[in-house]
Chain A
Amino acid sequence: DAGVIQSPRHEVTEMGQEVTLRCKPISGHNSLFWYRQTMMRGLELLIYFNNNVPIDDSGMPEDRFSAKMPNASFSTLKIQPSEPRDSAVYFCASSFGGSSRGYTFGSGTRLTVV
Chain B
Amino acid sequence: AQSVTQPDIHITVSEGASLELRCNYSYGATPYLFWYVQSPGQGLQLLLKYFSGDTLVQGIKGFEAEFKRSQSSFNLRKPSVHWSDAAEYFCAVEGNNDMRFGAGTRLTVKP
A and B are interacting partners: no
